[in-house]
Amino acid sequence: MELIFEKSKPGRSSVSIQQSDVPATDIDTAIDKKYLRTELDLPEVAEVDLIRHYTNLSRRNFGVDLGFYPLGSCTMKYNPKVNESAASLPGFTGLHPYAADKMAQGNLQLIYEMQQYLSNIFGMAQFTLQPAAGAHGELTGVMMIKKYFEKQGEKRHRIIIPDTAHGTNPASGALCGFETITLRSNNEGGVDIEHLKSLMTEDVAALMLTNPNTLGLFERNIEEVSRIVYGKGGLLYGDGANANAFLGIARPGDLGFDVIQLNLHKTFSTPHGGGGPGSGPVGVSKSLIDYLPVPQIVKTADGYQWSDNFPDTIGRVRTFYGNFNVIVKAYTYIRSLGAEGLRHATEMAVLNANYIKEKLKPYFDLPYDRVCMHECVFSGKRQVAESGVHTTDIAKRLIDFGYHPPTIYFPLIVPEAIMIEPTETESKETLDAFCEAMITIACEAKENPQILKDAPLSTEINRLDEVLAARKPDVCWKKT
DSSP three-state, residue 43: coil
Tell me: does residue 329 bind ligand PLP (CB under 6 A). no
Contact indicator for 277, 325 with CB cutoff of 8 Å: yes
CA–CA separation, 116 and 327 (whole Å): 13
Task: Examine residue 235 and tell whether it contacts ligand PLP (CB under 6 A).
Answer: no
Q: Which of 144, 160, 183, 241 binds ligand PLP (CB under 6 A)?
A: 241
Applying CB under 6 A, which of residues 107, 111, 128, 134 lies at the interface with ligand PLP? 134
Nearest to 251 by CA among 170, 171, 163, 346: 346
Contacts of 212 (CB under 8 A, 6+ apart): 218, 219, 242, 245, 246, 372, 373, 374
Least separation in angstroms between residue 371's CB and ligand PLP is 20
Question: Least separation, in Å, of the C-beta of 167 and ligand PLP?
Answer: 8
Please say which residue, 73 or 296, places its beta carbon nearer to ligand PLP: 73
Cβ-contact 168, 122 below 8 angstroms: no
From residue 276 to residue 305, what is the string marking binding to ligand PLP with x (rule CB under 6 A)? --x-x-------------------------
Q: Which of 263, 267, 270, 285 binds ligand PLP (CB under 6 A)?
A: 263
Of 45 and 255, the one with the shorter C-beta distance to ligand PLP is 255
**What length does the chain have?**
480
CB of 334 to ligand PLP, least distance (A): 18
Determine the Cα angle at 117 with ends 112 and 122, to 5°. Answer: 130
In the sheet that 417-420 helps form, which strands lie side by side, from edge to edge? 376-379, 417-420, 407-408
Give the CB-nearest residue to ligand PLP: 134
Element (H, E) at 208: strand 204-210
Of 92-100, 114-122, 133-141, 441-449, the segment contacting ligand PLP by CB under 6 A is: 133-141
Cβ-based neighbours of 20, under 8 Å, separated by 6 or more? none
Q: How far is the CB of 114 from ligand PLP (least distance, A)?
A: 17
What single DSSP character describes residue 205?
A: E
Decide if residue 210 touches ligand PLP (CB under 6 A).
yes
Stretch 380-419 residues interacting with ligand PLP (CB under 6 A): none
Smaller CB distance to ligand PLP: residue 70 or 134? 134
Among 45, 64, 71, 74, the residue binding ligand PLP under the rule CB under 6 A is 74
Closest to ligand PLP by CB, 278 vs 380, is 278
Of 149-157, 199-207, 236-244, 328-336, which part binds ligand PLP (CB under 6 A)?
A: 236-244
Under rule CB under 6 A, how many of the chain's residues touch ligand PLP?
Answer: 15
Enumerate the β-bridge partners of residue 419: 377, 407
DSSP code at position 418: E
Instruction: Report the distance separating Cα 235 and Cα 148, nearest Å.
Output: 10
Among residues 68, 71, 73, 121, which is the contact residue for ligand PLP, using CB under 6 A? 73
Of 105-113, 131-139, 351-359, 438-446, the segment contacting ligand PLP by CB under 6 A is: 131-139
Long-range pairs, 380-384, Cβ under 8 A, ≥24: 380/416, 380/417, 380/418, 381/415, 381/416, 383/416, 383/442, 383/445, 384/416
Closest separation in Å from C-beta 211 to ligand PLP: 10
Q: Should residue 214 be labelled a site residue for ligand PLP when binding is judged by CB under 6 A?
A: yes
Q: How far apart are CA 149 and CA 114, in angstroms?
A: 29
Taking CB under 6 A as the binding criterion, the range among 29-37, 130-138, 145-153, 173-181 that sits at the site for ligand PLP is: 130-138
* Contacts with ligand PLP, 136-175, as mask; x by CB under 6 A: ------------------------------x-x-------
Backbone angles phi, psi at 370, to 5 degrees: -130, 165
**If binding is defined by CB under 6 A, does position 133 make contact with ligand PLP?**
yes
Which listed residue (110, 135, 326, 418) binds ligand PLP by CB under 6 A? 135
Q: What letter does residue 4 receive in the DSSP assignment?
A: T
Q: Are strands 126-128 and 158-162 parallel, antiparallel or unpaired?
A: unpaired
Q: Site residues (CB under 6 A) for ligand PLP? A: 73-74, 133-135, 166, 168, 210, 214, 239, 241-242, 263, 278, 280
